[in-house]
Amino acid sequence: MKLITAVIKPFKLDEVKAALETFGVKGLTVSEASGYGRQKGHTEVYRGAEYKVDLVPKLRVEVLVDDADAEDIIDVIVKAAQTGKIGDGKVWAVPVETVVRVRTGETGAEAL
């Protein structure tokens, strides 16, 4: 199993969610995040005083998937989240050792 994490632009959430549902992903976790990459924040001006805002608001989407599906799902996310402009975010996957469904106690692929 793999944990896929995607950091995306907040307004892209609906498209990413829809694309994952169409693919057949049964569940995901979304949380608010802030950070920066090459985009490096932006500048705001208040009464003539400039402020550098380094941390840009993003959403972190996490999905637990079967090894076989991982590459396809990453493709799905990237396609849905892409605008082509700087600041689109990143997607990565890491191996997962154990997964347990809390309600039933099922483990492994059964629990996804």
Binding residues for another protein (CB under 8 A):
44-53
Quick one: tokens of 46? 């208040």
Least distance between another protein and beta carbon 4 (Å): 23
CA distances from 34 to 19, 57, 65, 68, 108 (A): 23, 4, 25, 31, 31
Nearer to another protein by C-beta: 52 or 103?
52
Least distance between another protein and beta carbon 52 (Å): 8
Nearer to another protein by C-beta: 1 or 30?
30
Least distance between another protein and beta carbon 36 (Å): 15
Cβ 99 vs Cβ 65: under 8 Å: no
